């Protein structure tokens, strides 16, 4: 597994991971039976629906209010999948390589990465507990006819934060990391200071050099344009 520490501007770093779309829920044998297994099955179904809708790229506007809400919800789910995919995959990893800009000291880069993992660990634990309360509060809506969008939303967030919390914890204490310097990441960092179209071109070239086809989109979304 390869993880990239992406420079997004002065003092800003973000871990990045790229993988083919797939079912992100924990394998059935990795779950306790009962309620959590049902929640995980619903979680997987939501991800499949969100990824299918994203790939279909339909331009037809939803015709009902409920359909529009569902469309918005699935779009939000697809974005959260992209954000949390790294942590979800770390749950199943024993060894991984962290690529850092070659202008950065390896030990310093690894310390920065661990600090980001610790921050994710604490944040996802806190949000999991908070959203669990929301899931309990959504239980009365189960008797209302039609899809329980509140229940779907909180099921996704509770399971998603739980898996992210476990991934961050494993990344901190269970994964053997190898740190590798990357000239491509340093080039990417310099590209962010380029003006206008040149910035866009250099970011895409860096993504192609690193063989990460989705990296340019991630950087453009996460990094503020240069002045």
Tell me the C-alpha distance between 89 and 15, whole Å: 13
In a domain, 6, yes or no: yes
Instruction: Give residue 29's pLDDT.
Output: 46
In a domain, 216, yes or no: no
In a domain, 108, yes or no: yes
pLDDT digits (tens, 9 = 90+) for 90-101: 999 999 999 999
Is 168's pLDDT higher than 80? yes
Which domain does 70 fall in, by range?
2-183
In a domain, 53, yes or no: yes
In a domain, 210, yes or no: no
* pTM for this model (two decimals): 0.74
Residue keyed to tokens 């779309």 = 21
DSSP sequence for 75-129 = HHHHHHHHHHHHHHHHTT-SEEEEEEETTS-HHHHHHHHHHHHHHHHHHHHHHHH
Tell me the C-alpha distance between 71 and 58, whole Å: 11
Assess contact for 199 and 19: CB atoms under 8 A.
no
Residue keyed to tokens 């000291």 = 105
Is 71's pLDDT higher than 80? no
Give the number of domains in the chain.
1
In a domain, 103, yes or no: yes
């Amino acid at each position: 597994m390869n993880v990239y520490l992406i420079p997004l501007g002065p003092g800003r770093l973000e871990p990045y991971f790229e993988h083919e779309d797939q079912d992100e829920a924990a394998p059935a044998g990795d779950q306790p039976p009962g309620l959590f297994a049902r929640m995980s099955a619903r979680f997987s179904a939501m991800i499949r629906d969100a990824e299918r809708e994203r790939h279909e790229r339909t331009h037809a506007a939803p015709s009902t209010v409920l359909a529009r809400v569902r469309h918005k919800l699935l779009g939000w789910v697809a974005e959260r999948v992209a954000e949390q995919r790294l942590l979800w995959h770390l749950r199943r990893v024993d060894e991984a390589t962290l690529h850092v800009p070659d202008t950065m000291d390896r030990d310093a880069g690894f310390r920065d990465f661990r600090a980001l993992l610790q921050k994710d660990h604490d944040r996802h634990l806190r949000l999991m507990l908070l959203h669990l309360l929301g899931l309990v509060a959504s239980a009365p809506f189960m008797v209302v006819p039609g899809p329980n969008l509140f229940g779907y939303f909180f099921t996704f967030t509770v399971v998603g934060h739980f898996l992210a919390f476990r991934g961050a914890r494993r990344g901190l204490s269970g994964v053997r990391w190898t740190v590798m310097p990357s000239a491509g990441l340093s080039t990417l960092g310099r590209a962010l200071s380029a003006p206008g179209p040149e910035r866009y071109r250099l970011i895409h070239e860096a993504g192609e050099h690193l063989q990460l086809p989705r990296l340019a989109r991630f950087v453009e979304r996460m990094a503020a344009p240069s002045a």
